Copies of this chain bind each other. A is one copy, B any other.
Amino acid sequence: MDVMEAARAAKRASTVLAAADTKSKNAALASVAEALTRRAAEIAAANAEDLRCARETQLAAPLLKRLKFDEASVATAVAGIRSLIGLPDPVGQTLTATELDQGLDLYRVSCPIGVIGVIFESRPDALVQISTLCLKSGNAALLKGGSEAAHTNRILAEIIVQASEAAGMPVGWLQLLETRAEVTAMLALDTDIDLIVPRGSNAFVRHIMDHSNIPVLGHADGICHVYVDAAADLDMAAAVVADAKCQYVAVCNATETLLVHQAVAALFLPRLRDALAAHHVTLIGCPRTAALIAVQPATEADWRTEYLDYTLSIRVVDDLPQAVEHINTYGSRHTDAIITRDRATAAAFMDQVDSANVFWNCSTRFSDGYRYGLGAEVGISTSKIHARGPVGLEGLLIYKWKLLGNGQTVAPYAAGTKPFTHRRLQRSCPL
């Protein structure tokens, strides 16, 4: 495949898709849902072939589980498309409206970003989800799935492309890349591709971020912290840390490091050790921690490690500023929580910790688009611009300024003979 030509075609399609009305986009989504349902057996057969190859190459059991996409998975994906159809069109929303002068009205209106490059690992449901999110938001997309799922991805993309183009969506709006070389080529196409959304392991995302000039929406590490303050309810703290660490260890919002205020460390740490005992959590700690409970000695590297396992690093800190400094130095700007009864301390923590999600008296595991009620999740971003934390459909949108006049020139305003009114309007852009 000529990736440059694919990106050009996607760019051309994106201008048409940007102007597509809500009805035709929803009709295309309905056609996609219908086609996926009709061809579910074919999809399951392609997936069985991927599973067979994966077993032959001794793919690990958790990866095999993520790769599986049977008729029930198709039904789940189709249910997702049906609920997406029900969401309001995020394109064409008037965000602000200002009269600059009589008959000269300025509207800031939401619009698609353009062409999105999406790279994801084994789960084929990601292909269906992200391509339909792009369609709903009027974005063209180049997709690359995991090579283990090649057969499944190929038939899914073929069905989505056929059904949506037959329903009137512009040719080229969705294209599937199949090789690593094509991904490398895509990462260089910053003229035609506007945003990269990588979904996968942190090494993978880091690689993408380091090898493209195209903006990236995503996160690499998830080094999340819980800070147990001097004024914490220690029972609550033990329960929250146990949940944040153990409820599901293999995810980015699981806690990796615990910080404990020195004033409560002697009381809290033995209690925590007991709370975690049932989960057989490996504890790694600083010297002050080691003086209180049995731990393996922590090195500097531990503070930068995302274990994704039943392992917790622990540091006793002097005070809130040291906790904040630790998190801002070693954290990944993902999700960090404070446990305290003191409202002012909580406020200071939440203002000073430079993370996408800052929590007071609850588990870091809540940072998730579904739990936040976003409806659809594009991904979790640790970027400092555009979109941060769990990102819904609005992460695939930007705005443009539409100015509607009747022949106005700048000259009389520049000369001061005509003033601007700059009056806020309470209406939507009429076109």
Contact = CB atoms under 8 A, between A and B. Distances in A.
Interface of A: 11-12, 14-16, 18-19, 98, 100, 104, 106, 111, 113-114, 194-195, 209-210, 213, 215, 217, 233, 236, 239-240, 242-244, 247-248, 324-325, 328, 343, 346-348, 350-363, 365-367, 371-373, 383-386, 388-390, 398-411, 413-414, 420, 422, 431
B359 A407 contact: no
A24 to B, nearest CB: 13
A249 to B, nearest CB: 12
Contacts of A213: 209-210
A254 B385 CA distance: 29
A386 to B, nearest CB: 4
A247 B413 CA distance: 11
Contacts of A420: 371, 373
Given A239-B409, A247-B411, A371-B420, A404 B360 contact: yes
Contact of A366 (B215, B233, B240, B410): B410
Contact of A354 (B18, B386, B404): B18
Given A18-B352, A247-B414, A358 B402 contact: yes
17 contacts: A12-B325, A15-B353, A18-B351, A19-B352, A104-B362, A114-B354, A240-B409, A243-B411, A247-B411, A343-B431, A359-B405, A360-B404, A362-B403, A362-B409, A371-B420, A388-B401, A389-B401
Interface pairs A-B: 8 shortest CB-CB: A362-B405, A243-B409, A373-B422, A19-B351, A365-B410, A347-B431, A236-B407, A386-B386
Q: Which of A11, A113, A114, A372 has the most CB of B within 10 A?
A: A372
A111 to B, nearest CB: 8
Contacts of A19: 348, 351-352
Given A114-B384, A409-B239, A409-B240, A373 B98 contact: yes
Given A215-B215, A346-B431, A403-B360, A194 B384 contact: yes
Given A347-B431, A372-B401, A402-B350, A324 B15 contact: yes
A280 to B, nearest CB: 17
Contact of A195 (B210, B385, B398): B385
Contacts of A243: 409-411
A414 B100 contact: no
B114 A359 contact: no
A74 to B, nearest CB: 23
Contact of A398 (B16, B388, B401): B388
A361 B409 CA distance: 9
A383 B195 CA distance: 11
Nearest to A327: B15
A347 B363 CA distance: 48
Given A113-B385, A114-B384, 9 more contacts: A15-B354, A100-B371, A240-B408, A243-B410, A359-B403, A359-B405, A360-B403, A367-B401, A372-B401
B365 A407 contact: no
B401 A357 contact: yes
Contacts of A367: 401, 403
Contact of A385 (B215, B362, B373, B431): B215
A203 to B, nearest CB: 17
Contact of A363 (B11, B14, B357, B410): B410
B194 A385 contact: yes
Contacts of A210: 213
